[in-house]
Amino acid sequence: MESFYITTAIDYVNGSPHLGHAYEKVLTDVIARFRRQRGDRVHFLTGVDEHGQKVQASAKKRGIPPQQFCDEVSAEFRALLPKLNITNDDFIRTTEARHQRVVRQVLQQLHDQGQIYLDEYRGFYSTRQEQFLQDKDRNPDGSWPEIYGEVTEITESNYFFRLRQHQEWLVDFLMQNEHFIFPAYRQKQVLEFLKEPLNDLCISRPRERLEWGIRLPFDENYVTYVWFDALLNYYSAVADKPGVWPATIHVIGKDILVPPHAVYWPIMLHAAGLPLPKGIVAHGWWLQRGAKMSKSTGNALNPLDLVAEFGVDAFRYFLIREMNVGQDSDFTLEQFMVRYNSELANNLGNLVNRTLNMTTRFAGGVVPAAGPDTELEQGLRALWAATRDAFIPLCEDFQFHTALERAMVFLTETNAYIEKRAPWKLGKSAAPEDAALLRTSLATMAEALRLAVTLIQHVTPATADKVRAVLGHAPGPDWKAELDWGGRLTGAKVAPALVLFPRPAPPTKP
Ligand code: MSP
């Protein structure tokens, strides 16, 4: 059994979760479920990033201690997971003792090895915002924006991690591991970034400026820079679980690839003598009218509203069907409704209705054994074989949107088969060959439905369970074997009806 350790980014708790956060969890869950059903030993970690300036400032604004603030917001992030049907094995908070212990251990080790040194840091500092500024924060005319108040150039002692020393090693590593980052063009961007010499990384913040962080083990006057702390969550969560580290895949958004995940993280591990993850998947952004959906721009959608209105599987299906992993996608309710109506309600929902309704009307609610096949059934079976054979490698390559498109084609063709075969006509005929064809058609549509929901069950798990329940089918443990076209449903007692994707109520007139 292969060990498969998968992680998401850990979310900042300075605001409530939005659709972008939910997408990353769903995408990671789809990969985790896919690997689990293929027999891998999956460990799935997600969590929250609780330290740093932003969190300290948000707590201050609310007038409560940072820990209390973190407890409240983290609970919100955690509560989202079961609502999205996420199958994480663990949830880490960076304020937990198990995490802080490992961060301090790694810092101490790197300090002992001479990888961390004390130096002067010079920069422009905004007292009002309590942060260092960069040139990109300036107005086009070179002045500082109003929000920063008075900006002064200050010099401060800080600890630095020797990133520069490992730059050539990282370039070699990326050249030798061409598929380390998905999509491949992102790996090229990292190599491009590494053409410029790296600066060593400032990994400390003086406590008089920032209290809310993990104290440096070798100097109590400082706390750890939030990224150095946060990245280590992937390791700290499993440090005492033998055989889990290294991670197989870190799933993250493209905004936190360079430099944190593609530069700092591999170098931190390498310097500490720890094995590197096998890969990084960098997904794109959900946009609204072209702008990144985020709390600060005020265009964030609450995923729970969509789940409440359309159900968890419609939400999961849309995110995975619409987004080409790595690229950006604009979220519109219109597009959501198009996919909901045409693919889920009309295509899948319709097949469910017809199968249950006709089996009930023409076979007393029991799936009959198939009679002889005709070209029509053979054609549908051939399409099934091709669909399944293409679907699995597409999922392995994170091409879930195309995989789902293929599954939809199979469902469309199954509905077309029913139209052509017209069991409602066969049911009225007294000819014995029509009775045999009727049995074949009922067995065929039930089997096609069972196969289709089993194929996409990592995306829409609740739907697969519901459909199998109304088909009277309990799946075996071997997912791949379940994808073989066979007579698994012969004799199964089906339920008379199931409304899977109800038409949403039309908007009420004001
Ligand atoms: N705390 C850091 C990550 C530390 S990982 C060691 C952070 N947090 S975040 O809350 O800002 O973002 C968490 C994840 O959500 C990131 O991977 C980010 O890319 C993703 N998303 C946030 N907004 C997004 C969209 N609008 N669309 C898709 N995902 C985006 O960064």
Q: At what angle do helices 432-455 and 375-396 cross, to 10 degrees?
A: 0
Three-state SS letters, 60-99: HHHCCCHHHHHHHHHHHHHHHHHHCCCCCCEEEECCCHHH
- Answer whether residue 477 shows pLDDT above 60: yes
pLDDT value at residue 227: 96
| Secondary structure of residue 51 in the 3-state scheme | coil
pLDDT value at residue 507: 55
* Cβ-based neighbour number of residue 398 at 10 Å: 21
Mutate to test the pocket of ligand 1, among 13, 16, 256, 323 (most ligand atoms within 8 A of CB): 256
CATH numbers and ranges of domains, the chain: 332-482 (1.10.730.10)
pLDDT value at residue 134: 87
Instruction: Look over the chain and give the mean of its residue pLDDT values, rounded to a whole number.
Output: 96
Ligand 1 center to 254 CA (angstroms): 9
Mutate to test the pocket of ligand 1, among 255, 257, 288 (most ligand atoms within 8 A of CB): 255
pLDDT value at residue 508: 56
Ligand 1 center to 322 CA (angstroms): 19
Here the tokens at position 345 are 């309600």
Nearest CA-CA partner of 284 in 320, 325, 256 = 325
Which protein residue's CA is at the shortest distance from atom 13 of ligand 1? 11
**CA dihedral (64, 68, 69, 73) positive or negative:** negative
* Cβ-based neighbour number of residue 209 at 10 Å: 16
* Cβ-based neighbour number of residue 217 at 10 Å: 15
Cα separation, 497 vs 470, whole angstroms: 8
Residues flanking ligand 1, CB < 6 Å: 9-12, 20-21, 23-24, 49, 230-231, 233, 252-253, 255-256, 285-286, 292-294
Ligand 1 center to 299 CA (angstroms): 15
User: Among all chains, which residue has been given the structure tokens 């597409």?
Assistant: 394
- Answer whether residue 83 shows pLDDT above 60: yes
Which protein residue's CA is at the shortest distance from atom 5 of ligand 1? 9
- Answer whether residue 219 shows pLDDT above 80: yes
Q: Name the band, by pLDDT with cuts 50, 70 and 90, for residue 376.
A: very high
| Tens of pLDDT, residues 92-136 | 999 999 999 999 999 999 999 999 999 998 999 987 777 789 888
Which protein residue's CA is at the shortest distance from atom 21 of ligand 1? 20
φ/ψ region of 293 (left if φ > 0, alpha if ψ in -120 to 50, else beta) reads beta
- Answer whether residue 504 shows pLDDT above 80: no
Mean pLDDT over 71-83 rounds to 98
Mutate to test the pocket of ligand 1, among 49, 91, 231 (most ligand atoms within 8 A of CB): 49
pLDDT value at residue 128: 79
For 223, phi and psi rounded to 5 degrees? -110, 165
* Cβ-based neighbour number of residue 338 at 10 Å: 13
Mutate to test the pocket of ligand 1, among 77, 285, 289 (most ligand atoms within 8 A of CB): 285
Here the tokens at position 17 are 């979760």
Mean pLDDT over 14-35 rounds to 97
